[in-house]
Amino acid sequence: MYDLLIGNIKELVPITEDESKLIHKSFETVHLKKKQFLLQSGEYSNHMRFISQGCLKLYSIDELGAEHILQFGISGWWLNDLYAYLTQKPATFFIQAITDSIVIQIHRDKLNELFDKIHMMDRFFRIKTQNGYVALMERTINNMSQSAEQRYLEFISRYRDIEQQIPQYMLASYLGVSPEHLSTIRKNIRDQ
């Protein structure tokens, strides 16, 4: 499971075998059962988290109790309430396992130590943060400018692996539509 983490890092920055071993020692493994929380609103987000196996969601709950999914995460992806992590304020989001999952995480103190010992780790997380910001901006713009059908078609073309792992009501929440509206969109697409 750590091979996936090291491979993910090596996709963006070069690291040596000794650095790989140090990275491995600095991370800890968390096993989650389906529906188990990794982070809850109000807690402090002190870890950077890599999904080794499974599928998770990052979401908030509004004052009426409705769930609003901001992000999904699958094997090989990073997932976190990054705002809470960076500001060191209590989380506003929940991170919950959709399926049984394994997460490899590193505490901020150990990550800062890694930044001092392995300079490429600093670069890796800078690139990841930049890419995350770009993805969030694209999603925001698409939510403002695209129809629900366009957002659905883009989602299934980009994230076919995720669509197979999540219930329709969760996908509807992510797209900002009701499950019934998503059913209508899917029916209309099939009938075309």
Could you list the pLDDT tens digit for every one of the 192 residues in the chain?
Answer: 789 999 999 999 999 999 999 999 999 999 999 999 999 999 999 999 999 999 999 999 999 999 999 999 999 999 999 999 999 999 999 999 999 999 999 999 999 999 999 999 999 999 999 998 998 899 889 888 999 999 999 998 888 888 888 999 999 999 999 999 999 999 888 887
Spatial distance between the Cα atoms of 76 and 78, rounded to a whole number of angstroms? 7
At residue 184, the 3 state secondary structure works out as: helix
Question: Whole-model pTM?
Answer: 0.90
> What element of type H or E holds 96?
strand 94-97
Cross-strand pairs, 69: 59
> What element of type H or E holds 54?
none
Nearest one of 125, 93, 128, 131 to 111, comparing CA atoms: 125
